[in-house]
Amino acid sequence: MNNSDIYLYNRNISKNADYTVWLAFPGIRSFALSSLGYLWMFKDIDTFDDVNIEMLCTDTKTTKNRIENVNLIGFSFTFDTDFLSIFSILERFSIPLKSSERGKDNPLIFAGGPVVSANPVPYKEFFDFIIIGDGEDINLKVVEICKSCKYKSKVEVLEKLAELDGIYVPSIVQKKVQKLTKRLESCVYTPIISSEAFFSNTFIIEMARGCANRCGFCLASYMNLPLRCAPYEDILKAIESGLKYTNKIALLGAQISAHPKFVEIFNFIDKKIKSGQQIEMSVSSLRVDAVRPEIIKTLVDAGQKNITLAIEAGSDRLRKVINKNLPKEKIFEAVKVSASAGLKGLKFYGMIGLPTETDEDINALVSLAEKIKKNYKSFDISFGFSSFVPKPNTPFQWIGREATKSLEQKAQYLKKEMHKLGVQVSVSSIKWDYWQAVLSRGGDGFADFLIDVYKNGGKLGDFKKSAKQHKINSDYYALGTFDFGANLPWDFIDIKPGKEFLQNECIKLLET
Ligand code: SF4
């Protein structure tokens, strides 16, 4: 821990417990310090007086506890390629990557996070157990069990853990594992404010979890149903307490505008600004329906210059297919409101290669940019695109990606046409998106392939080479369109609204 870190909870700094947990983050410390879920879990475990806890990041130079004294290591797993950093952390401490090769002297290793919650199967050989879904309520129980079984065999501990809802133990046959869904009875906020965080000295508050919009491709929505909103009073209290330490606050949530008190929360902050309090506020992204003059005005007063609007696709037709009912008139209205309320610019986020996409849909993106540019010459607009990646537990989980070559052609075309209009465009790497899809829908037998990718350096070419070597048919996982009746590796994850609903939704959307 660093001297510049401010703890917003009472911390026992003189703990000398005989049970030690390392909470590992597959990235550098500044990112860990901006990851709300990670910090919240750290704080929760830190409340045990009889458990030492330490952060472990890819740039951690020295640890307070020696590996010989560590009993449990938990990894946050948020992005598909996080396995590369996880392997490098394990190797640094000479811990075998596969759980079957670890002995009684190695700590128990577990993971949690959206990637392994949606489909843990490609990674199952690396972890002793995996938390599926929202971990907040189960974390303490897990640590409690592990601690109380310190002198028991790993098998005995894992048998106990497997009895809990939401815990997947790959070495034990479990017919179904229920995904955990936390009720947001209170507000989750940054428990440690740090000048070394990527979002330096920022107090992050989770206003809502999930999104009720249910776009057909969206894991953030389907893994987090139903939409839950933190209590209004709690949010205000959290804002007040955060502002005692910093003037930077960030409101988090996939659909914060769905909070029943969204406007009141903004008014609360606006009032403070108007009374002379210096506040810098940011929001993750806004849905177009939240772009109202009073909301944008508050953001501008709080120092925000640009916002991101996710429009996903260029045409009304394709937006309907993906379940994003957003007519273009609403987009134009949002631009008008943003420009007149004082924002300097807007970034639009979209996807290419969405199911049923045609050249007309791609051209609609260019027309949209052209029309906005024509009417708002000095307003700065830009576009960011990624390509469609089928995600487990969404209605589009059965649908394969478009071929890499044609997606790259579409990306080139968009760059060229938008460039002509003077509009900046960034497109994610189509080739990386392909491998993301392979990992997303991957299944049994991935372990040696993933180890090889890591050993060879983890670059794009290493994925291709290793897949070939281990006979992983990557095109099948990334490009294949699966039958509705096919068994999917993640079918054993018990998640609402269930496979039948997803199938009906997929059919309905594609027929739109
Ligand atoms: S509106 Fe955004 S967060 Fe909500 S379901 Fe659609 S893509 Fe996901």
State the distance from the centre of ligand 1 to the C-alpha of 350, rounded, in angstroms. Answer: 11
Orientation of helix 136-148 relative to helix 154-162, angle to 10°: 150
Q: Which residue's CA is the closest to the ligand 1 atom numbered 6?
A: 215
Residue 235 pLDDT exceeds 90:
yes
The predicted pLDDT at position 13 comes to 84
Contact (Cβ atoms closer than 8 angstroms) between residue 224 and residue 209: yes
Which residue, judged by its Cα, is nearest atom 1 of ligand 1?
A: 213
Q: Tokens at residue 232, please?
A: 């209004």
Cβ–Cβ under 8 Å, residues 49 and 12 = yes
What are the pLDDT digits (tens) for 249-269?
A: 999 998 888 999 999 999 999
Phi-psi category of residue 22: left, alpha or beta, with phi > 0 → left and psi -120 to 50 → alpha: beta
Number of Cβ within a 10 Å radius of residue 285? 15
| Per-residue pLDDT at 4 | 77
Ligand 1 pocket by Cβ (under 6 Å): 211, 213-215, 218, 220-221, 254-255, 310, 324
Give me ligand 1 centre to Cα 218, in Å.
Answer: 6
Best of 209, 215, 224, 288 to mutate for ligand 1, by most ligand atoms within 8 A of CB?
215
Cα of 313 from ligand 1 centre, angstroms: 12
Q: Which structural domains are found in the chain, ordered by start?
A: 6-178 (3.40.50.2300), 201-304 (3.30.750.210)
The better pLDDT of the pair 306, 401 is held by 401
Alpha carbon of 61 to ligand 1 centroid (Å)? 39
Q: What is the mean pLDDT of residues 102-107?
A: 95
Q: What is the mean pLDDT of the chain?
A: 95
Residue type, position 267, single letter:
N
Segment 419-438, tens digit of pLDDT: 999 999 999 999 999 999 99
CA 335 to ligand 1 centroid distance, Å:
19
Residue 399 has pLDDT above 70, yes or no: yes
pLDDT of residue 57: 97
Q: What is the pLDDT of residue 1?
A: 54
Tell me how far apart the alpha carbons of residues 490 and 441 are, in angstroms, rounded to a whole number. 8
How many Å apart are CA 113 and CA 38, to the nearest integer? 9
The DSSP result for 93-157, as a single string, is: TT--SSGGG--TTSPEEEEESHHHHH--GGGTTT-SEEE-B--HHHHHHHHHHHHHTTTS-HHHH
Gap between the Cα atoms of 262 and 251, Å rounded: 11
**Residue 133 near residue 210, CB atoms below 8 Å:** no
CB neighbour list of residue 497: distance below 8 Å, 6 or more residues apart: 225
Q: Is the pLDDT of residue 127 over 60?
A: yes
